[in-house]
Structures are given as C-alpha cells and as structure tokens.
C-alpha cells in the first residue's frame, strides 16, 4: 500500500545517534520516554552522564555528568528522577530534581531494590520491587507507600510496564518471562490487574495493556476500559487475541459489552509478541506494537481491525503516547524515534473502501471530526429521517463530522415535520441534542431563540447564554430585545445619586453597546452638569469623543467650554493634546482670551484685529512662543528684525543662538546693516553657519576688536586660524595679531594656522618666524602645563615648513643649555630634543646625556619612530623605563645578547619576560624557559608548552610548569606537566602528582599518552581515574595480559573485551583470550567479529573451545550455537551432526546451511534442510550427494514433503540408477503424489518396467491406462492368464482391442480364451464367438452369444452346433440363449435335424413361462373388475342416502333394463364370466442354465 494512502502515517522524528548517543546505550535499560515531551538516555562511557532530549528542540540535547542506574523525566515538567543502587547492599537511593530551579525536591533510601519504576502520573512515581509495588508522591515530604503485593504469576518476570487509569482506581503491572519448553522462543506475558477500591488482584496472561475512558450513549460518566493483548501457546496451537473489557461497571447504567479480536501474525513473525500498547484518546483507536516492528490498529469501541503493517525493520523496545496528535512515538534498536499519526485525509476512505466497514467509518469520522464520510453520514441521516427516527437523526446531525449536517437545510428539514399532539417537536429534539453536545452556531441559536421567544420562555435563553450555549449575533440581539427596552436614563440617574464614578462607568458601558448608546451623549453630560459633576462629565466626554468625529463637534465645544469656565488648566491640557479638531474655534478662542490663555487664543484667532488685541498682552505671552510655534523662516527673520529694531538685543541674541529656521545669509546681512552695538547676534549667526571671515572683516573694519578677541578666546578658539588669515588679508597691525595668537595659547591649532599662513606666503612669510618664536616664549613664560606632543610636533613642523630647523635649535640651545632661567623647562627640553630628532639626529645623544627634565617615554617613542634606536635605548634606560629599553634592543636593534645582558643588569621580571618572549620567537626555547622562570611569568604558558614540545625540551618544560602551577590553576598546565613527566620517564613524579590536588584533565592526558605510546604513564593515569577500558588496552600494549583482563572485567565494555581478547590471541594467551571472549560472544553483534579474528590467525581449536564454553553461559544465544556449528563444519566435522541434533532449535539454520554447503557436509546439510522444512533442497542434496547423504528411510520421509513435483521423477531416476531394489518402496510412498503414467513411461524408456511391477499392482486401482497396459503386457509375457483376466475384469482403461489382437494367436489356449473374453467385453461378439469356436470353447461361445443380445448370433450358433453334430451343445445353447432364440426356430431346427428330444426341455420351459404370463393377466383382469364393481356400489349408496324422501312417494314399477346391461344371477341379462384359470405359466429360467426338472410336472 502506498504510504500516501495508508491510514497511519509514519515519520522519523529524530535519530538518537545523530545527536551524539552511542548505539550501545540505545536499549530498554538505558533509554526512557515517559511522554511525548522528553527522552532520557543514560550513558556510562566515556563517562557517566544523563542526556535529556526535549522533543520541542531535539537537536539541542542537555547532557549532565550524572551517575545513576536509571533516569526518568517527568511527563509534563523538567523534573528528573534518578535511581542508584547503594554499593555493597540491595538498597536503592531515589532522588527527584527540579532541573529549571537546579534544586533537589526529594530523596529516599529504599530498603528493597527497585527493579522497575515509572511516572504513572505527573506527580506520582510507581516503584516495583521483587515482591511489592509502591507509590511515591512528589508533594510534601511523604515516603513511598506500599500499594499491593505482586502475584505469583509475575515471579521471575522482567517487568516492562506499570500503568494506572485516570482515576487512579485501577492499576496494571506487566511482565514477560521465557516461553514454554516446547517453544522457548515465544516469550510469555503476564499481567496483574489491581483494584484500589476492592484491594484485590487478578492474574492474567497478557503482553501489553492500556486503560481508556469511553462514554457510552445514555451514561453521564465515561466508563473505564482496559485493553490487553495476549499471545499464548496451548496444545501446540498459538492463540493471539486483543481484549477490551469494562472495569467497575456503573450500577444501573448501560455497561460496555466485552469485545475481543484476533491478532493476525504473518508466518515469518510466528515468535513475535506485543511489547507495547497505546490508546489514542483523540480517535479512540488502539495501537498494538510488537517487538519486531508490527503495528496493529483496532477500534476501541468495537475491537474491529483497522490496519496492520510493519513500521520498523529493527526491534522496538519503547513507546510513548503522542497525545496532541492522537498517535504514538516508538524507539527501535537503531535509535530511530518514529512518530505514528492518523492520516486524517485517508483513514475514513480506507475504512469504508478497503475494509468495507461503513459503520466504523462513520463512527470514526464523528469521533475524530474527520473528513471522508460526508456521503455516508448524509445518506444515513436521510435513511433515519425517512424512517421517522427523528431522535437518532438529531443525534447523528449533532455528531456529524466537521458539522456537515449542522446547516439551515437540516433545521428546515426538522421544521417541516408535522408535530404530533402530545409529542415533543422534532425540531426541539434536534436542538436539545445539540445543547447536550456543546454550543450552537449562529443560525441554530437564532432558530432556537425564536421558538423560545414565541413560547415566552426567555428565562431559558438567559440560562443558555449564561452557560455559553448560544452564539451571539446581531439578529439574535434584535430578536431578544423585541418587547423589552430598559430605561437606561432612569438607571443612570439612580446611580448618579449614590455613586458618581459608577455612573461614569455605566455611561461608558452604554456608549459601547452594540447598536449605539441608548441615551444621547448630550443628555448624559447634562445629567452630570446638573449635579455640578464637572470632572465626571469631562471624563465621560473625553472617553467617548476619542474618535474625533465631525458629528461630535458640539460635544467637543461643550467639554472645552465647561473647563475653560471652571478649570482653565484642564482645558489648556486638552488643547495641548490636540485630540479635538471639530469644535467651534472662534468660540473657544474667545473663552481662551477671557480665561487668560492668550497663547491658545492666538492659536485659534484668524482675524488680524483679534490677533492685535491679544498679542499686546506680552506680560502673559512667552516670547519664545512666537518662534517655537512656527517653522516659517520669514516669521523667524521678522521676529529677529522686530526685536533688533525695538532694541531687544537679548532676544535677538537668543533667537540667533537657538533657532534653526531663519535664513542665515539674510539674517547676517541684516545684522551687519543694522550695526548693533552688541555684536553677539552676528557672532552667533556667522559662527553657526560658517561666515567667520565675513564676521572678522566686519568686526575689524568696524573697530570692534574686542569682539574678535572674545570670539577666538571664548566662543570658538578652533576658528582662530580663519580669523588670523582674514586679519592678515585685512592688513591688521602685527601687534594685534601677535596678541591674539598669544591670547589663544595652547588652544590654537597650529597646523591650520600654518596652512592659512602658507596661503598668504608672498605677503607674510617673514612673519612666521616671529609668531612661532612668540608662541614658544609665551608657552614658557606662562609656565603652562606640558602641551601635548602633537602640538610641539606641529610647532616643529612649522619651523621645518619654513625650512628653519637650525634656527629653532639654536634658539632652544640658547634658552635651555646656557644656564638661563628656562634651562630646566620641561617643554623646552622636549622641544629641543624633538627638533634635533627631526633636523639634526647627531645632536640627540648629546642632548639626552645633558638634559634630564624631558618627557622620556614620549621622546623615546619619537626617537624609535625616527629609527634612532640607540638614542631611544639611552632615553629609556636613563628614565629607568627598562621594559621599553629592552624592547628597543629586541625589536629594533634585534640583539638578544644585549637584551639578556641588560636583563641581568636590571633584574626586573618584566624585562626578563620580554627577553623570554623574544627568545621564544627565535626558537631559543630552553633560554626562553629560563628567562620566563627568572621573570616569574606564567602568562605565556600556552606558547611555551607548544614550543617546548616542538623542541623536545621536556626537562626544562617541567621546571617552567612547576613555576606556573604556583601562580595559576589551569587544567592545561597540570595536564602538560604530567605529559612532560611521562616524556622524561619520571613515573614516580606522575604518581605523586596525581595524588595531590590538581586540575589536570586526566582523561585527555591519558589518551594522549596512550596515543604516543607512553603506556607506562598512561597506565598510571587510567588506573587512577578508574578508566578501566583504557587501562585494559594500555596493559595490552605493555603485554600485561592478566591485568588487562582484570581491567576489562571492571570496564565491562564490549569494545574493551574485544581489544583485550584480540591482543591475547595475538600473544597466544588463549586462556585469557577465552575469558574475554566469553564476555564478548554473549553480544550477538560482536560474535562474528571475534570468530573472524580467531580464524584469520589460524586459532581454530581455541575458537572452538571458546564457543563450546559459551554454550553453558546464562546469556547464551542462538548466535553462539550457530557459530559453533559453523566452526565444526569447517574444522571438526566429526562433531557437527551431534551438535546439530542436540541444539537444532537454537541454531540459525540458514547460516549453518550455508556453512555446510560450503564445506560439503552433505549429510548434515540434509538434516538441516529437513529441520528448516526445506524439503526440496533436502531431497536435491540427497540425490546429488547420495554416497554421503542418502538414507532410504530418511529420503522417503523427505520425498513425500517436497513441493516441487519434478523432484518426484528425479527421485525415480535416482533410485533406478542407484537403488533399483528399493524403487518400489519409494514409489509406494509417492503413489498419491506422482503421475503414474509418467512413472511408467520413465521405467519403459529405461527398459526396467518389470522392476516396478509391485508398484503398478499397488496403484492399478486408480485404473490408469498406462499402468493397466504395462501390467497386462507383463502378464502376457509371464503367461499369467489368471492375473491377466483379473486385471482385465477390474480395470478397463487400456487398449482392449490391441491386447486381444496381440494374444488371439497365442500358443496358450487360456491366453486365446482371454482374447475371446476381451473381444466379448469390447462388444466384438462375432470375433469372440469365432475364436471360442476355433478353440472348441463352446460354453464360452454360448455365453458370449447370450450376452450379446443378438438373436441372429444365437441362432447361427445353433445352426453351427447342428452342423457339427453337437447335440448336447445344441440343447445347452437353447437354455443359455433362451431369451434370444425364437421357439419356432428352435423347434423347426430340432424337428428337421431329428433333435426334438434335445429340444424338448427347452419346449417345456417355454410352455411353463407362457402359462405363467397368462395366469398373471387373468388375475389382473379379475381384480380390475372387482374394483369397478366396488366403485359402482359406493356410488349407489351415496344416491340412496340423498333420495330417502323417495319412500314417501307411491310405488312405481321398476324401469326396464337398459340395452346391453346385465343383471345379477337369475336376472334377465346376466351373463356369467369365464371360469377361473389356474397357474399354467412356467417358472423363470436361471441364466445360462437348465431349469430344475421334475417338480413342475
């Protein structure tokens, strides 16, 4: 079936290996799934951990290092339950953790070992011990409570599930156990059902079970059902059943009828069994999942089979309900997490079409609201309606899938039904059914309301509306309000008296009513105002007027009016919000003016007189209002213009500073023309909009020099170069420019100033030297703080640009070096050295040695940039900047030797650190390590470790790492230290180190040591961290095999066992290898690998010994028995047959068959074929390899069971060639199966037909032509005429004429007689008679003539006897052919030939026969006459009774007799009959003989 049309859809949700789960942990004991929310996996390697997989984000698993024997995630929340056995006892430690809160919720020490546990509810854990079952609640501090004891049928069972019903009144425990001795592979299932109320248990046979709730029609409460699946073996017959029964039937209520159905397992799944059951509460379907991946789907209500398919090629060991989609999750051994869901688009068509179960299709569609049954539901509805079953039709319509019948047409159909007196209208029945099912739709609600309103039962409507049974609509509202209109105005007035705020709420509620507010907003407002409730009226109006509709213009005006009169500030806030736009603006403007809100008035007035009248109230109008209320540049300019002309200079200054909307060019020109005494407005404009040259020119030409100074000093010193440039252009006096520059001091940007001067080179070049000198002197005199080095560099640049470096140096030398007052000036010394660096590097070293008060770090960096490395080194060393000094040696001078020497001289850690880094970069690893140690520097340990390993200097690395450990607790450091110890073979130090506190990643270290063949060190590490798996393989590398086995035993890992085992095999330590092997071969997947390893190395006997030892293991499986058989087949043939016979039921026969076939062990191969019911192959093998495989009795048993009929004939050829003496025995057992004709043909062609004579005799009863002819031919050859005649008599299917012709000339008389007999049987009468006459067999001739029925032949034979003078034969022939010979012919021939005496007996017989015939005729006639007479008398009696009244009539003469009528005796006309005749006939003659004589005469 195509997956798209299947009723159940399967998809792969995730695969556990894809998210890092090792396949060895995908087992029932390691994986749990309590619901569709979480999967929990317990890992034990490489370390103990628990992996939590959230199914909402499965690709982000949460892995936590937790050691536990079992882990369960709560079905609903992120709560984890853990179970671990207390070492050395049978107690289990149970703990519950809240993962989100990272806290422990509960813990308990169980005195008994918990063999199985499960979340039976989100708040209850079910705990199963060997004897009892406990419940442990997550609430409070309660301990586990014993619920019941396990029944005897669950003893020695593996518990696989424990469940409770939703009410927690019924509990079920399920276990499995090995099958019965006659079929151990069929696992047995046991179940214990416990009633909490009755405190009683019932033991049943079942493999899987689940609880469900199902509501029966007519019952208020759902019934509790249990479904369980069984597969049992009784008297050799397997019975598989699904049962559904009700638990605790409700008294007085309808009970659920017990259901059961067969589970049909295909032949290939004969030993498969159910492992899980899930019930879809969404669709009421039962899912039965088997171990080998079969899925059975059944309907819960009827137990009808819905679907069966194989959903997984790998065994399934865990399932969980997927409640949200009505399906389930299943996990198989491959790690696939499969999701099974109902295919809603196809399941109904599948059930109705494929299964032809229309009733189930309809019920499923109604139950799950599924598509596909529309036609069926409509057809059923019409049938019920036609049968006037309105109640059933209403229920069907109410439950119709997807509401396909809940339409106006259905309502109209119920409306059209005539209402019978005294009965509930069908329409009300329909609506009543709908109300019990849920909520009515809009149309149904309207129609039902019409009925109720017409009956004046509005209280019902109120109840239904309160219960949310009706869907509200505008039409329903119109219907309900007819005839009733509340007096909302009265209600509002009533509330106003006591609760004004409540009145506001009520008014707002009315405003939100559908259809609009029942009371006019204005009326409501007036009610509030009548009681002087201004605030309440305002609150109401502000809420209802939010939409700002044109029709609310009056109310908008009203709310503003009342507040402008009473609360102007409220009105101002309302206007500020801008929420209204349709009110009467002139009216509000007037009120704003009266209320003193002149700004608002100006906003609303449009007429110039009004504006003029208001604007004069400047005392109440903020000036900025005029500006801020507009973005029009003209308005802003006009304002500036007006303020300037009115002398409001401060306002002009403010606006030019704050406004962003005036025209800058226009404003600048105006202010220049206005020639205000205060230049600040013009400065604002020019500074903000980039008119600095214009500003400078204006101020200079108008002799407003103090404003120039103020601008560059206070407003914007950064524009000083522009100011100076413009002043130079305006030919400003030199003194003023000097003073201006000096006034700016360090704030002066030198480079832009230089640029400005360069632009004017022709005019002012000679000034440059002057103002730079003045600048420097000003800096010194003012004794300012050190200018940034950038400014000094800029100053120097200025000299350089003017190409006057030497002049600058000379100036500075005179100031600094000649014991002037400025000799120790910090800035000048800096400037001198920097200038020398730029202009005359040869002087730098002398300056460095002679000067002491300069900025060493900064100057040193400049020297480095100028590549004066020795000078830089001298500067740094002079200022004790040893790190910078050594860096110069290392990075610039590149002399590690000098750096080391310097480091020894200064002995600073930082210096040594830099030296160490440089040495490390140059590959001087040992020297670098020594330097790092001297520096006590642990920061570069990663680079040191890397370099040391590359250089293989582990002795030095150990010293370094020991130093680092004292400063930092780094796992990398401790790990590398162990590794270094190992590299220099200091194992004692390793042991000592790991015993001390450390943070080494021992696992990684051990792996690294192992990978690099440092096995002794690795052994120490792995032993310390108890990594037995790695310890085992390490010991293998060290050839310490006994220790490796002990470690592998502790690791108990298949991989470890294999590694140790294979190593022992290679080392020929076969005793230890066997110990390991026994722990490997119990795993089916690893068995073949072990076997191949042994065989590839020629260790056949040792491998056989291993497998033989494995047979006795408790966990021995089919693979061990099979593999041993294969090994026997290959290497020890003499044991093979005994092994096969002993363990035939535990062998993988197909695999062993292949092995025997490869090794040509034909006898054993035959036996295996027989055990595997492959009889065709068995027979073929026997025949092809008969010297070894043939056994007659065995072959007979096989031959009758083969399916290929050609093998029968091949067997015949085989026996004919090799065992002809037994061919009849074979053919006898094949007699019912072979084609006898073909067998005879085979034997005839082989020339050995006589060989199978016994077989042909045995099967001749089948009357087969070929067999008959073959036997007849043999009888002829053997002249066995008796057997030939017997064969001819009993079996007529052969060529009779051909046989007769063949033997009619036989030398034996009896054979010729048989030929005559054959002719007689074939109807060749003449030929038979002629042959008999020829051999004087007269009796045969007479009998043949009699049997022919031919009168002519009989009479010719009489003539022949007369001619031959055979008088006695003549007499005998008369009697033998009595029926054929005419009497006249016989008498005539006798009289003519004087044989009357011989014919007289015939004549007597003839007379006797004919006399008897006459007597019979007479007797028949007399009886007929009597019957006629009796009938006439009866008629007369009837007439006499009918005419009794005739006695009253006068006597009359009798009528004369009728002509021809006779009377009785003595009466006229009576004629007596003939006399009675005696018996004159002859008795019948016996056939072919004479009649008895004497008594008849």
Tens digits of per-residue pLDDT, 434-469?
777 778 787 777 777 777 776 666 667 667 766 777
| pLDDT tops 60 at residue 800 | no
Percent of the chain with pLDDT over 90: 21
| pLDDT tops 60 at residue 190 | yes
The mean-pLDDT minimum among 329-338, 1105-1114, 1434-1443 falls in 1434-1443
Residue 328: pLDDT band with limits 50, 70, 90: very high
pLDDT of residue 13: 92
Nearest C-alpha neighbor of 1168 from the set 1196, 1145, 1186: 1145
Tens digits of per-residue pLDDT, 163-178?
999 999 999 999 999 8
Q: How many CA atoms lie within 13 A of 643 on its CB side?
A: 22
Neighbours of 804 (CB within 10 A): 17
Residue 80: pLDDT band with limits 50, 70, 90: very high
The pair of structure tokens assigned to 1439 is 């007439």
* Relative orientation angle of helices 1070-1080 and 1100-1110, to the nearest 10 degrees: 50
**Which residues, at least 6 apart from 143, have a Cβ–Cβ distance to it below 8 Å?**
108, 136
Neighbours of 1141 (CB within 10 A): 11
Number of H helices, E strands in the chain: 72, 28
Average pLDDT estimate for 773-790: 45
Residue 296: pLDDT band with limits 50, 70, 90: very high
Tens digits of per-residue pLDDT, 1389-1425?
888 888 888 887 888 888 888 888 888 888 888 988 8
Tens digits of per-residue pLDDT, 984-1025?
888 888 888 888 888 888 888 888 888 988 888 888 888 888
| pLDDT tops 50 at residue 299 | yes
Nearest C-alpha neighbor of 160 from the set 47, 365, 319: 319
* Relative orientation angle of helices 761-782 and 789-801, to the nearest 10 degrees: 150
| pLDDT tops 80 at residue 579 | yes
pLDDT of residue 786: 43
Tens digits of per-residue pLDDT, 60-69?
899 888 889 9
Residue 917: pLDDT band with limits 50, 70, 90: confident
pLDDT of residue 274: 95
Pairwise pLDDT comparison (482 vs 728), residue with the higher score = 728
Q: What is the mean pLDDT of the chain?
A: 83
The 3-state secondary structure of 263-324 reads CCCCHHHCCCCEEEEEEECCCCEEEEEECCCEEEEEECCCCCEEEEEECCCCCEEEEEEECC
Average pLDDT estimate for 384-396: 78
pLDDT of residue 764: 45
Say how far apart CA 1339 and CA 1345 lie, in whole Å: 10
pLDDT of residue 4: 66
Buried-state track 1290-1302, b at ≥16 Cβ within 10 A, e below 16: ebeebebeebbeb
Residue 40: pLDDT band with limits 50, 70, 90: very high
Is the peptide bond prior to 1058 cis by the omega test (within 30 degrees of 0)?
Answer: no
* Consecutive H or E run containing 643: helix 633-645
| pLDDT tops 70 at residue 837 | yes
* Consecutive H or E run containing 262: strand 259-262
| pLDDT tops 60 at residue 1483 | no
pTM above 0.75, yes or no: no
pLDDT of residue 235: 74
Using DSSP's 3-state secondary structure scheme, residue 471 falls into: coil
Using DSSP's 3-state secondary structure scheme, residue 1070 falls into: helix
Percent of the chain with pLDDT over 70: 89
Average pLDDT estimate for 1115-1140: 90
pLDDT of residue 268: 84
The pair of structure tokens assigned to 156 is 């020695």
Tens digits of per-residue pLDDT, 98-152?
988 888 899 999 999 999 999 999 999 999 999 999 999 998 888 999 999 999 9
Say how far apart CA 1398 and CA 1390 lie, in whole Å: 8
**Which residues, at least 6 apart from 1374, have a Cβ–Cβ distance to it below 8 Å?**
1358, 1381, 1386, 1398, 1399, 1401, 1402
The mean-pLDDT minimum among 486-495, 845-854, 1032-1041 falls in 486-495
Tens digits of per-residue pLDDT, 540-553?
999 989 889 999 99
pLDDT of residue 51: 94
Tens digits of per-residue pLDDT, 1352-1392?
888 888 888 888 888 888 888 887 888 888 878 888 888 88
pLDDT of residue 648: 84
pLDDT of residue 1459: 42
Is the CB of residue 833 less than 8 Å from the CB of residue 793?
no
pLDDT of residue 803: 62
pLDDT of residue 466: 64
Nearest C-alpha neighbor of 415 from the set 442, 443, 441: 443
pLDDT of residue 969: 81
Pairwise pLDDT comparison (364 vs 403), residue with the higher score = 364
pLDDT of residue 1474: 40
pLDDT of residue 599: 81
């Amino acid at each position: 079936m195509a997956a798209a049309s299947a009723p159940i859809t399967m998809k792969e949700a995730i695969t556990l290996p894809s998210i890092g789960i090792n396949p060895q942990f995908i087992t029932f004991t390691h994986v749990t799934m309590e619901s569709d929310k979480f999967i929990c996996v317990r890992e034990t390697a490489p370390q103990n951990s628990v992996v939590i997989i959230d199914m909402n984000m499965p690709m982000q698993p949460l892995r936590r290092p937790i050691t536990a024997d079992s882990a369960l995630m709560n079905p609903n929340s992120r709560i984890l339950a853990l179970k671990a056995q207390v070492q050395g006892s049978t107690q289990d430690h149970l703990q519950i953790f809240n993962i989100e809160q990272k806290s422990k919720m509960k813990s308990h020490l169980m005195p008994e070992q918990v063999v199985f546990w499960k979340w039976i509810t989100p708040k209850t854990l079910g705990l199963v011990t060997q004897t009892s079952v406990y419940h442990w609640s997550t609430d409070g501090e309660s301990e586990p409570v014993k619920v019941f004891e396990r029944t005897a049928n669950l003893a020695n069972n593996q518990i696989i599930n424990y469940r409770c019903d939703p009410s927690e009144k019924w509990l079920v425990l399920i276990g499995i156990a090995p099958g019965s001795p006659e079929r151990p592979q069929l696992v047995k299932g046991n179940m214990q059902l416990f009633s909490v109320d009755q405190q009683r248990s019932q033991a049943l046979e079942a493999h899987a079970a689940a609880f469900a709730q199902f509501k029966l029609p007519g019952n208020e409460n759902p019934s509790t059902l249990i479904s369980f699946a069984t597969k049992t073996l009784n008297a050799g017959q397997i019975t598989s059943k699904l049962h559904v029964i009700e638990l605790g039937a409700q008294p007085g209520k309808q009970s659920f009828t017990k259901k059961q159905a067969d589970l049909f397992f295909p032949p290939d799944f004969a030993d498969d069994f159910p492992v899980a059951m899930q019930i879809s509460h969404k669709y009421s379907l039962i899912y039965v999942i088997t171990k080998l991946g079969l899925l059975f789907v059944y309907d819960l209500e009827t137990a009808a089979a819905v679907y069966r398919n194989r959903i997984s090629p790998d065994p399934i060991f865990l399932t969980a309900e997927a409640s949200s989609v009505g399906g389930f999750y299943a996990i198989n051994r491959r790690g696939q997490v499969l999701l099974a869901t109902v295919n809603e688009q196809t399941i109904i068509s599948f059930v109705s079409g494929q299964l032809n179960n229309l009733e189930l299709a309809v019920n499923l569609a109604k139950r799950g609201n599924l598509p596909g049954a529309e036609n069926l539901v409509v057809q059923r509805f019409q049938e019920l309606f036609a049968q006037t079953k309105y109640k059933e039709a209403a229920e069907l319509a109410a439950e119709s899938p997807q509401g396909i019948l809940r339409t106006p047409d259905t309502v109209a159909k119920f409306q059209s039904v005539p209402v019978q007196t005294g009965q509930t209208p069908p329409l009300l029945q329909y609506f009543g059914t709908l109300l019990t099912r849920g909520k009515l739709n809009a149309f149904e609600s309207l129609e039902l309301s019409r009925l109720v309103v017409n009956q004046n039962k509005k209280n019902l409507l109120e109840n239904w509306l309160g219960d949310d049974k009706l869907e509200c609509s505008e039409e329903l509202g119109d219907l309900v309000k007819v005839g009733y209109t509340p007096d909302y105005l009265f209600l509002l007035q009533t509330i106003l008296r006591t609760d004004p705020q409540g009145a506001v709420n009520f008014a707002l509620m009315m405003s939100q009513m559908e259809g609009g507010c029942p009371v006019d907003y204005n009326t409501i407002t007036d009610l509030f105002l009548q009681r002087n409730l201004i605030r309440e009226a305002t609150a109401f109006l502000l809420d209802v007027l939010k939409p700002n509709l044109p029709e609310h213009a009056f109310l908008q005006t009203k709310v503003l009016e009342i507040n402008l009169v009473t609360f102007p500030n409220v009105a101002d806030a309302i206007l500020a919000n801008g929420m209204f736009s349709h009110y009467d603006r002139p009216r509000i403007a007037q009120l704003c003016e009266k209320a003193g809100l002149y700004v608002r008035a100006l906003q609303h007035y449009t007429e110039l007189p009004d504006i003029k009248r208001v604007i004069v109230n400047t005392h109440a109008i903020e000036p900025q209002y005029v500006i801020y209320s507009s973005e029009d540049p003209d308005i802003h300019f006009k304002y500036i213009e007006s303020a300037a002309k009115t002398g409001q200079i401060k306002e002009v200054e403010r606006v030019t500073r704050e406004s962003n909307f005036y025209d800058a060019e226009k404003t600048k020109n105006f202010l220049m023309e206005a020639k205000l005494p205060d230049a600040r407005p013009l400065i604002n404009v020019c500074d903000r909009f980039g008119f600095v040259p214009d500003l400078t020119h204006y101020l200079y030409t108008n002799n407003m020099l103090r404003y120039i100074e103020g601008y560059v000093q206070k407003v914007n010193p950064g524009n000083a170069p522009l100011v100076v440039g413009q002043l130079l252009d305006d030919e400003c006096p030199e003194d003023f420019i000097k003073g201006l520059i000096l006034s700016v001091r360090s704030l002066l940007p030198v480079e832009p100033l230089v640029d400005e001067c360069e632009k004017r080179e022709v005019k002012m070049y000679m000034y440059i030297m002057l103002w730079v000198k003045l600048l420097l002197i000003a800096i010194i005199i003012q004794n300012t703080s050190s200018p940034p080095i950038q400014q000094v560099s800029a100053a120097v640049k200025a000299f350089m640009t003017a190409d006057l470096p030497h002049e600058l140096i000379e100036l500075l030398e005179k100031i600094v070096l000649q014991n002037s007052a400025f000799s120790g000036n910090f800035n000048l010394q800096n400037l001198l050295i920097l200038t020398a660096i730029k202009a005359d590097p040869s002087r730098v070293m002398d300056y460095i040695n002679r000067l002491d008060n300069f900025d060493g770090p900064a100057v040193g960096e400049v020297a480095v940039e100028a590549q004066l490395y020795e000078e830089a080194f001298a500067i740094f060393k002079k200022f004790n900047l040893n790190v910078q000094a050594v860096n110069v040696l290392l990075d610039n001078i590149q002399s590690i030797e000098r750096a080391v020497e310097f480091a020894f001289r200064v002995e600073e850690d930082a210096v040594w650190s830099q030296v160490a880094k440089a040495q490390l970069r140059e590959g001087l690893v040992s020297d670098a390590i020594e330097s790092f140690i001297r520096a006590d520097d642990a920061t570069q340990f990663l680079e040191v470790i890397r370099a040391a390993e590359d250089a293989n200097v582990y002795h030095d690395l150990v010293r370094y790492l020991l130093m680092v450990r004292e400063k930092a607790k780094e796992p990398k450091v401790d790990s590398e230290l162990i590794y270094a110890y190992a590299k220099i073979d200091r194992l004692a130090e390793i042991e000592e180190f790991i015993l001390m506190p450390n943070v080494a990643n021992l696992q990684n270290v051990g792996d690294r040591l192992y990978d690099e063949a440092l096995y002794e060190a690795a052994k120490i590490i792995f032993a310390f961290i108890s990594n037995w798996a790695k310890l085992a393989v390490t010991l293998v590398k060290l050839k310490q095999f006994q220790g490796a086995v002990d470690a592998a035993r502790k690791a108990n890992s298949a991989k470890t066992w294999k590694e140790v085992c294979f190593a022992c095999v290679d080392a020929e330590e076969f005793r230890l290898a066997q110990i390991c092997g026994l722990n490997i071969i119990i795993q089916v997947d690893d068995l073949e690998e072990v076997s191949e390893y042994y065989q590839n190395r020629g260790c056949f006997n040792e491998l056989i010994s291993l497998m033989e030892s494995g047979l006795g293991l408790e966990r021995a499986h089919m693979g061990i028995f099979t593999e041993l058989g294969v090994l026997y087949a290959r290497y020890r043939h003499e044991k093979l047959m005994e092994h096969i016979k002993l363990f035939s039921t535990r062998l993988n026969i197909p695999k062993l068959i292949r092995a025997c076939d490869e090794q040509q062990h034909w006898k054993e191969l035959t036996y295996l074929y027989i055990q595997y019911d492959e009889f065709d192959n068995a027979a073929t093998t026997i025949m092809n390899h008969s010297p070894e495989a043939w056994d007659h009795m065995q072959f007979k048993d096989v031959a009758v069971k083969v399916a290929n009929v050609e093998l029968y004939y091949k067997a015949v050829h085989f026996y004919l060639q090799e065992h002809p003496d037994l061919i009849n025995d074979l053919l006898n057992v094949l007699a019912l199966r072979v084609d006898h004709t073909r067998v005879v043909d085979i034997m005839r062609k082989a020339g050995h037909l006589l060989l199978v004579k016994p077989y042909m005799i045995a099967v001749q009863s089948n009357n087969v032509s070929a067999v008959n002819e073959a036997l007849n031919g043999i009888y002829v050859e053997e002249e066995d005429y008796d057997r030939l005649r017997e064969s001819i008599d009993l079996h007529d299917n052969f060529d009779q004429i051909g046989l007769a012709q063949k033997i009619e000339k036989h030398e034996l008389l009896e054979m010729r007689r048989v030929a005559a007999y054959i002719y007689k049987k074939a109807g060749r009468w003449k030929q038979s008679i002629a042959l008999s006459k020829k051999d004087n067999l007269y009796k045969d001739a007479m009998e043949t003539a009699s049997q022919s029925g031919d009168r002519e032949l009989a009479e010719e034979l009489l003539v022949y006897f007369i001619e031959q003078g055979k008088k006695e034969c003549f007499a005998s022939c008369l009697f033998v052919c009595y029926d054929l010979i005419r009497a006249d012919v016989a008498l005539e021939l006798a009289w003519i030939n004087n044989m009357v005496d011989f014919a007289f007996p015939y004549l007597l017989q003839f007379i006797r026969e004919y006399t008897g015939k006459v007597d019979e005729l007479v007797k028949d006639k007399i009886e007929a006459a009597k019957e006629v007479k009796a009938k006439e008398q009866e008629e007369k009696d009837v007439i006499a009774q009918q005419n009794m009244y005739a006695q009253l009539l006068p006597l009359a003469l009798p009528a004369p007799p009728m002509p021809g009528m006779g009377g009785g005796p003595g009466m006229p006309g009576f004629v007596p009959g003939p006399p009675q005749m005696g018996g004159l006939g002859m008795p019948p003659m016996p056939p072919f003989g004479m009649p008895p004589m004497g008594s008849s005469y």
